[in-house]
């Protein structure tokens, strides 16, 4: 496991623990319905940012033209008379 992957894993676990703690204490201070509203807003913001994000690397144009489909040869049946 390389260093970046390990760091991201540790940060992800830490962020999850922080979110759980914030939710637990937030419910006690703000109330259940307010926390549901906050969770829905954060989830909606995450979904919107996922849909609207641009790809990191644009696709490079290919220099080769697309190959044309090859025609299929058919055999003719002869009528035997």
pLDDT, one tens digit per residue, over 42-64 is 889 888 888 888 666 666 666 66
Q: How many Å apart are CA 34 and CA 4, to the nearest integer?
A: 36
* pLDDT at position 80: 67
Higher pLDDT, 71 or 21: 21
Decide if pLDDT at 34 tops 80: yes
What's the pTM value of the predicted model, to 2 decimals?
0.46
* pLDDT at position 62: 63
**Letter string b/e over residues 4-22, b meaning 16 or more CB atoms within 10 A of that residue's CB:** eeeeeeeeeeeeeeeeeee
Decide if pLDDT at 24 tops 70: yes
CB atoms within 10 A of CB 81: 3
* pLDDT at position 14: 92
């Amino acid at each position: 496991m390389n260093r970046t992957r390990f760091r991201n894993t540790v940060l992800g676990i830490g962020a999850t623990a922080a979110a759980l703690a914030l939710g637990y204490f937030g419910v006690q201070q703000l109330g259940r319905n307010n926390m549901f509203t906050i969770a829905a807003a954060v989830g909606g913001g995450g979904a919107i940012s996922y849909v609207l994000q641009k790809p990191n690397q644009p696709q490079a144009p290919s220099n080769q033209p697309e190959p044309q489909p090859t025609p299929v040869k058919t055999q003719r049946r002869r009528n035997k008379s």
